[in-house]
């Protein structure tokens, strides 16, 4: 068994409460729909729940790309915490404010590296579109 991403989503706000509950607001589905470009989001959040059944020491690297300013430059690195009695971890990344500069796709690449096991790579995407384009597509 190795680590895996059980679920992930993009939203406007996310936090992990005491006791491990995830609170999220403004969850997006397949796309972020804005009135027009350039649109400013107060925050853009990415959340992933990582299942780690063996409690292996696991490092992660996350990158985010897409039509936005400021660019989420560089690689975000860290190590998953290992909580007694738990086999999973919430990863919350919060960026803001973010200006969406045009249509396209925001992509998050997440690489998990459990000690002594093969790395696990996952990619998550969400579209970015304005209302006029969405209506034109019918």
Residue with tokens 């909580």, as numbered in its chain = 83
CB atoms within 10 A of CB 100: 23
Alpha-carbon gap, residue 102 to 105, rounded angstroms: 9
Give the pair of three-digit tokens for residue 66. Answer: 């897409």
Give the pair of three-digit tokens for residue 68. Answer: 């936005």
List per-residue pLDDT tens for the chain, 138 residues long.
789 999 999 999 998 888 778 899 999 999 999 999 999 999 999 999 999 988 889 999 999 999 999 887 678 999 988 776 678 888 999 998 999 999 999 999 999 999 999 999 999 999 999 999 889 987
CA separation (Å) from 28 to 6, 40, 77, 108?
18, 15, 25, 15
Domains contained in the chain, CATH given: 4-137 (2.60.40.10)
What's the whole-model pTM score? 0.90
């Amino acid at each position: 068994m190795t680590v895996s991403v059980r679920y992930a989503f993009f939203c406007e706000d996310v936090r992990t409460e005491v006791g491990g509950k995830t609170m999220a607001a403004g969850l997006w589905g397949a796309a972020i729909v804005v009135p027009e470009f350039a649109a400013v989001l107060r925050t853009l959040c990415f959340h992933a729940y990582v299942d780690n059944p063996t409690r292996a020491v696991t490092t992660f690297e996350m990158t985010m790309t897409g039509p936005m300013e400021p660019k989420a430059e560089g690689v975000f690195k860290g190590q998953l915490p290992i909580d007694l009695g738990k086999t999973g971890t919430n990863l919350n990344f919060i960026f803001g404010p973010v200006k969406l500069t045009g249509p396209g796709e925001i992509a998050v690449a997440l690489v998990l590296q459990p000690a002594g096991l093969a790395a696990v790579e996952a990619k998550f995407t969400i579209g970015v579109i304005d209302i006029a384009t969405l209506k034109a597509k019918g």
